[in-house]
Amino acid sequence: MQLVRPDGTWTLKLDGTAYDAEPFDVALVGEDGDVLPLDRWIPGFALGEHPVLGRPWVCLSGTRAFYLYEGHHTERWDAVRFRHRADNLLDRLLAKAGL
């Protein structure tokens, strides 16, 4: 999905291969499909480099990276997956991206 703002255009990739058994994986990617480096992400969209994934990540409940982060170890995908449907997640991602 293309995200267009006055300061640039980015490609948002949502990988829901195992959804809803597992949450969506979320990333901003380049034309080759590889995850962009942190300095090329939408300003304020990424929290930084994820300590487990080793790439930029969006700290948002309902995403794979959120549940892999040790600071969220008490939160479980199984407990919230029916609240975090794909359309709700997309709305929250777009809001976080400033759209």
Q: pLDDT (tens digit, 9 = 90+) per residue, 10-63?
A: 999 999 999 888 999 999 999 999 999 999 999 999 999 999 999 999 999 989
Predicted local distance difference test score (pLDDT) of residue 86: 86
Question: Taking the CB of residue 99, how many other CB atoms lie within 10 A of it?
Answer: 12
DSSP one-letter code for 50:
-
Which residues lie closer than 8 Å to 13 by C-beta, 6 or more apart?
1, 25, 26, 27, 28, 29, 33
How many domains does the chain contain in total?
1
DSSP one-letter code for 31:
T
Predicted local distance difference test score (pLDDT) of residue 83: 80
Full-model pTM: 0.89
* Domain containing residue 20: 2-96
Strand order in the sheet with 8-15: 2-5, 8-15, 25-29
